[in-house]
Amino acid sequence: MQKTAPGCRLAGYWQTEKYFGHIRPTLLTELTLRAPVSPYIQRIADQIASAPQSASVHFRRGDYVSDPKVAAFHGVCSVDYYTHAIQSLRKQVHDSPHFFLFSDDPDWLAANIPAEVESYTIVDARQSSAREDLWLMSLCRHHVIANSSFSWWGAWLSKQQGLNFAPAKWFTSAEFNDCDVAPPTWHKV
């Protein structure tokens, strides 16, 4: 492990476990909610706990859609990506999964739920904070993530051994190396 000089500033997205995989147990303990949650969030957490094959699906929109520079750099995962990932998950999970759908654009999400999602709960972003959404995602067994560090962390912080699906292409440009973004056990779609 290489040490940095005092006063060194590190910048980045830090979405490869190569930087911190060796301290995963510590991170799972440290990165958790400390404050009580609202009744709405607790109800969703209870639903996740009662679903043996819970699966989070995160649809990142926001600035990926509204800001041309961000859109040009990241791009938005297509509905086809989600459809394929969900189909792959359903083929590998014997019990029907219950999907917990997350998005920073709940109106778009409500109008664009993939047909492959039969049993689902939309987590309403208007009733939850980002940290609560991240925590709820981490409670799920399986994950279909966007090309977003937010949903990446939601999947990585899960304590359950499930299936994780990530976009094969993380950035719009091949100029950026994304080979280490998804851990080797995750499925790239």
Is residue 31 situated within a structural domain?
Answer: no
Residue 54: the pLDDT is 98
Is residue 14 situated within a structural domain?
Answer: no
Is residue 85 situated within a structural domain?
Answer: yes
User: Which residues, at least 6 apart from 90, have a Cβ–Cβ distance to it below 8 Å?
Assistant: 96, 97, 116
| Number of neighbouring beta carbons within 10 Å of residue 182 | 24
Quickly list DSSP for 119-187: SEEE--GGGS-HHHHHHHHHHSSEEE--SSHHHHHHHHT--S---EEE-S--SSSTTS--TTTS-TTSE
For the chain, how many structural domains are there in total? 1
Is residue 83 situated within a structural domain?
Answer: yes
Residue 100: the pLDDT is 98
Residues of the domain holding 117: 38-188
Residue 177: the pLDDT is 83
CATH code, domain carrying 76: 3.40.50.11350
Is residue 162 situated within a structural domain?
Answer: yes
Q: pLDDT tens digits for the chain (189 residues)?
A: 567 888 888 777 777 899 899 999 999 999 989 889 999 999 999 999 999 999 999 999 999 999 999 999 999 999 999 999 999 999 999 889 999 999 999 999 999 998 888 899 999 999 999 999 999 999 999 999 999 999 999 999 999 999 999 999 999 988 888 889 999 999 999
User: Which residues, at least 6 apart from 29, have a Cβ–Cβ distance to it below 8 Å?
Assistant: none
Global pTM reads: 0.92
Is residue 16 situated within a structural domain?
Answer: no
Is residue 3 situated within a structural domain?
Answer: no
Is residue 9 situated within a structural domain?
Answer: no
